[in-house]
Structure 1
Amino acid sequence: MREAVLAGQAPPYPVRPVIDESWRRVLRCGLDPERGAVGNPLALDELERRRRRSGIGAVLPTLREGLLGAADAARAIVVVSDADGRILWREGNSAVCRLADALGLAEGADWAETAAGTNAIGTALVVRRPLQVHSAEHYVRAHHPWTCAAAPVTDPRDGRLLGTVDVSGPASTLHPATLSLVTAVARLAESELDVCHRAELEQLRAVAAPLLSRMPGKALVTDPHGWTAAVVGMVPPRRLVLPRSSDGSGRVWLPSLGTCTVEPVPGGHLVRVCEDDADGPAVPQRVVLDVRRARQWSVTVSGDAGSWSQDLSPRHAELLVALAVHRPGRTAAQLSEDLFGTPRREVTVRAEMSRLRRTLAAVLDHRPYRFADHVHVDLRRPDPPGLLLPGSTAPVVTALR
């Protein structure tokens, strides 16, 4: 089946969709199907820097405890990567580690899909879901003697992809429960991060409450990720999407509150609603939807009051792309067709659009769903078009590719 796809022919048997889509993405990149992209691993100082900056390092003990014993007994190894596909840690059976060295599966190596072809680590980062890749499902022939199962780990505070945890070994070590075990341990790690975040919020709340009690007007204190710790003079939002950057004027425009001032406090931000703008937010004039990168997409809203940016989940990126190419608007049923190929997922579409409009209400209208008429929309797509939102199977995305 792999040989047929590489030759541009129809495979003799159906290929798993996730593998077939990955093969074709890698094929478009021109990667060597025999050896992949042979590159140098990270220097030791750069590897240490990435380890320190990686949020996945905080749950490394949990990953080790959940997987290392089982992997070692099964003649496999545990591999932890960052969101770029770089291997940060590798442990397990010593004999298998020596085999992995010959394969290039070593600390500091690049196992992103664009460098190593279809593999559990790199492909799981693209599709953002757990995945097992066995033997000849790997794009690169040199990887065929191996099997691997990986699950992405995301930060529950902001949905940011932290990396993957993976169990790899010789193809003979394949076990149908491996993927379930890796997935369960990844979810356990995310739960641990969530518990730590809740404890941090409680500590911030103890600092914020007395600060806000002496403050007039509308104000709130959030953690660095925008989660509300304390509030005064207004209904508390569960989370406030804060700007990644401001124009340096000392004021920023927030879609849900209007013009505000944002000041640092220990452990977070103090956000005060400007009284002269309390009746409504400034009118934005331009939206830039940037989906050029492989795994990170953003929307930037700008106007007279400044600019504001937000990272997008894969689903929200799909929705905004659909609205950008259909400026007159789409009903919930039409967006369901755009995303799922059926008009019957209207409830899912409405729920996702409701989440989007919590922060983008000033630029998104409804009945039908559309970008507001007064807003100029700039959709920035990748070149070549085939790399648009890799991993997405939405009909509107595949048509644009």
Structure 2
Amino acid sequence: MPALKTRFTEEMTSDGMRAQVAESWHRSAAAGVRADDAEAPITLPEDSLRGHREAHPLAQVFPLLDDVLGQAARDCDAVMAVSDASAQLLWVCGHPQVLRKAEKIGFVEGSNWDERFAGTNAPGMALALGHPVSIMGSEHFRHSVRSWSCAASPIHDPTTGELLGVLDVTGGDELVVPQTMAMVRAAARMAETELAHHKLTASTAPPEVRRKSGFGLTIQGLGRNEALLEIDDGSGRRSTLRLSPRHSELVLLLGSAPRGLSGDELAVLLYEEDNSGSTLRAELNRLRNLLGDDLLASRPYRLAADVSADWLALEARIVNGDVAGAVRAYRGPLLPRSTAPGVVRLREGIDSTVRQAVLSSGVPDLMSTWTRSSWGTDDYDMWVAQRQAVGPHSPLLPLITGQIDRLDRELA
């Protein structure tokens, strides 16, 4: 990466910066956030806030969070906030004097702290990365927020894994201790446990007469050389398997063919060269021993369960027009080391779909996410499109131009 003598990059690197924070600064700049913006924008006006808040799943657990973490925040002159999955703050509580200070940076109910609107901050980064994050003082992108520090953790639906929102504690330098993050993470897990309890007790029917819904399989293969397979037996028991490379290929191919595949079809998709049917049958028998007869059916070969997969969800987001959500969900190429013809075709199709969606979106921060990834760093067309999208006054322009120049030299 060429050295760039711009105020943007000098400010990022002068005292050293964590890699994930630097990435967030790039996303913020690419989205057009200005470092001298004073406040985060309001995206939930007062007349819409109440209804949105009351209908939100986290309304069930907010009293518990307020009692446990909210009170602790008041005691240490901090603020506790709960956002939805769009980083819109639904609840903000704390000591009145601290709340008035927070208003000056727009940290109020109804404001949006997505990185694309508010720059680098803990709630926005926790949403973007999907895991707990702490941001200290000068790591914030906007100058007005740099006297604050914050720690945030996502809250997920305990049964579906869907991201529901983010729990955050924001305050002064005294928050920059490991105990703060531990407390926030514990409170988020407690909220998920309480949500699970609500779901468990929602049905009044006794367990013995509840209908068994059947098996469910969830496959994760994006950015992984060995797929993860989560098995739900339909009665609330879940288990997770890390599959071998060959079993990963088999499960992905079968998961992409809900009507099933014949032995000949599966062999063509699995092997680069002609292979004996006995080799395939041996692999399938090993997989059946791992999964059980109930999950791997034959004639044709198929997964006998409700199948969901990360790459299928990603494609659905693109079809629905949610390119930003698809980019967040894209953790990398599908089984990147696999050379199985069927997997290669599937992988190249997914890569091309995501790339084209980002290219067509014209959204600078999505293009920046792509070009700063290992799979997109040499994407010449994307760098050129990003240069056009950011405009002539963007602080990212020197970096983009430098990368285009590098590729010009290498391609020449």
The normalised TM-score by structure 2 is 0.59
**Paired amino acid for 2:374:** P
**Paired amino acid for 2:197:** V
Q: Which residue of 2 aligns with 1:331?
A: 337
Equivalents in 2 of 1:385, 1:204: separation in Å?
Answer: 53
**Paired amino acid for 1:370:** V
Answer yes or no: is 1:387 the counterpart of 2:366: yes
- Aligned pairs for 1:44-193 within 5 A: 44-171=46-173, 173-193=175-195
RMSD: 4.3
Q: How far does residue 163 in structure 1 lie from its aligned partner after superposition?
A: 0.7
Q: Which residue of 2 aligns with 1:23?
A: 25
User: 1:79 touches 1:165 (CA, 8 Å); kept in 2?
Assistant: yes
- CA gap of 1:4–1:97, structure 2 versus 1, over 3 A, is farther
- Aligned pairs for 1:187-266 within 5 A: 187-200=189-202, 203=205, 206-209=208-211, 220=214, 229=234, 258=259
User: 2:120 touches 2:142 (CA, 8 Å); kept in 1?
Assistant: yes
Equivalents in 2 of 1:197, 1:228: separation in Å?
Answer: 17
Q: Which residue of 2 aligns with 1:396?
A: 375
Tell me, which stretches of 5 or more residues in structure 2 are unaligned? 217-230, 241-254, 261-297, 303-311, 383-412
Tell me, which stretches of 5 or more residues in structure 1 are unaligned? 213-218, 231-235, 240-253, 260-276, 282-286, 299-312, 324-328, 335-365
Instruction: Determine what percentage of the aligned residue pairs are the same residue.
Output: 25
Answer yes or no: is 1:296 the counterpart of 2:297: no
Comparing 377-386 and 41-50, the one that deviates more: 377-386
Q: Which residue of 2 aligns with 1:306?
A: none
Q: How far does residue 142 in structure 1 lie from its aligned partner after superposition?
A: 0.8
Equivalents in 1 of 2:54, 2:345: separation in Å?
Answer: 41
Comparing 194-203 and 94-103, the one that deviates more: 194-203
- CA gap of 1:370–1:41, structure 2 versus 1, over 3 A, is closer
What is the total number of aligned residue pairs between the two structures?
A: 295
User: 2:78 touches 2:94 (CA, 8 Å); kept in 1?
Assistant: yes
Equivalents in 1 of 2:368, 2:68: separation in Å?
Answer: 32
Q: Which residue of 1 aligns with 2:36?
A: 34
Comparing 10-19 and 121-130, the one that deviates more: 10-19
**Paired amino acid for 1:23:** W
- SS of match in other structure, 1:103: coil
**Paired amino acid for 1:119:** N
- CA gap of 1:20–1:220, structure 2 versus 1, over 3 A, is closer
Q: How far does residue 110 in structure 1 lie from its aligned partner after superposition?
A: 1.1
- Higher RCO (CA 8 Å, separation ≥ 6 residues): 2
User: 1:153 touches 1:164 (CA, 8 Å); kept in 2?
Assistant: yes
Q: How far does residue 175 in structure 1 lie from its aligned partner after superposition?
A: 3.6
User: 2:41 touches 2:106 (CA, 8 Å); kept in 1?
Assistant: no
- CA gap of 1:98–1:28, structure 2 versus 1, over 3 A, is same
**Paired amino acid for 1:192:** E
Q: Which residue of 1 aligns with 2:245?
A: none
Equivalents in 1 of 2:9, 2:84: separation in Å?
Answer: 33
Equivalents in 2 of 1:198, 1:172: separation in Å?
Answer: 39
| Residues 311-330 of structure 1 deviation map (CA, whole Å, 9 limit, x = unaligned) | xx84xx334xx24xxxxx84
Equivalents in 2 of 1:197, 1:389: separation in Å?
Answer: 40
Equivalents in 1 of 2:341, 2:300: separation in Å?
Answer: 24
Q: How far does residue 205 in structure 1 lie from its aligned partner after superposition?
A: 5.4
Comparing 162-171 and 18-27, the one that deviates more: 162-171
Equivalents in 1 of 2:299, 2:342: separation in Å?
Answer: 28
Equivalents in 1 of 2:149, 2:5: separation in Å?
Answer: 21
The normalised TM-score by structure 1 is 0.60
**Paired amino acid for 1:122:** G
Q: Which residue of 2 aligns with 1:340?
A: none
User: 1:295 touches 1:389 (CA, 8 Å); kept in 2?
Assistant: no
Equivalents in 1 of 2:93, 2:145: separation in Å?
Answer: 19
